[in-house]
């Protein structure tokens, strides 16, 4: 998949802050596993939201963590003249809830993942994707607590 196709897929998940995020988590998990990455789903205490931690390359050694969040703010503004959860192109720009904050970044990171997974990396590259960033980063403390066992 190219980055725009990945972005369209991510935008289609209405992963609004404070709501269950299982669908987007499952899709990202499956995509990463298909590319050969090791994926850990880290359920939060809410019971309906999870963080993701993905590793490509060797497990041992110091590496890099690419971090982002999967949630978006609600799309209730009257200025939307199309479905905010359907990516659309207009005037050379892409529109959809989360295109810049932060599903566009996630799409770029995920588009790079298969290439990274195919390399003979000397150090691991990790992807840490959290939930509820838009509400005080509620998912991040649970992700941080798990890091010592993950990398």
User: What percent of the chain lies above the pLDDT cut of 90?
Assistant: 87
Q: In this predicted structure, what is the pLDDT of residue 151? A: 84
Q: How much is the pLDDT for 59?
A: 85
Does the structure show a pLDDT above 90 at 60? no
Tokens of 140: 């991040």
How far apart (Å, rounded) are the C-alpha atoms in residues 121 and 98? 31
Read off the pLDDT band of 115 (50, 70, 90). Answer: very high
Q: Which of 4, 23, 48, 133 is catalytic?
A: 133
Q: Residue 90: enclosing H or E segment and its boundaries?
A: strand 88-90
For the segment 92-98, the average pLDDT, to the nearest whole number, is 96
CA distance 49 to 18: 8
Active site residue: 4, 23, 71, 101, which one?
Answer: 71
CATH classification (class only), 3-73+85-150:
alpha beta
Taking Cα atoms as reference points, which of 71, 60, 62 lies closest to residue 132? 71
Overall average pLDDT of the 112-139 stretch:
95
The domain spans of the chain are: 3-73+85-150
pLDDT in tens, 70-85: 999 999 888 888 999 9
Do 85 and 10 meet the contact criterion of CB atoms below 8 Å apart? no
Is residue 34 within 8 A of residue 99, CB to CB? The reply is no
């Amino acid at each position: 998949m190219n980055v725009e196709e990945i972005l369209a897929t991510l935008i289609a998940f209405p992963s609004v802050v404070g709501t269950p995020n299982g669908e987007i988590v499952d899709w990202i998990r499956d995509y990463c596993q298909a590319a050969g990455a090791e994926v850990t789903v880290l359920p939060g205490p809410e019971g309906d939201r999870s963080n993701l931690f993905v590793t490509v390359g060797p497990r041992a050694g110091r590496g890099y963590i690419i971090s982002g969040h999967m949630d978006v703010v609600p799309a209730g503004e009257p200025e939307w003249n199309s479905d905010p959860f359907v990516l659309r192109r207009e005037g050379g720009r892409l529109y959809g809830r989360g295109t810049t904050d932060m599903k566009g970044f996630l799409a770029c990171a995920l588009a790079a993942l298969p290439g990274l997974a195919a390399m003979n990396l000397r150090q691991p590259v990790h992807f840490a994707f959290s939930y509820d960033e838009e509400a005080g980063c509620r998912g991040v403390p649970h992700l941080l607590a798990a890091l010592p066992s993950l990398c």
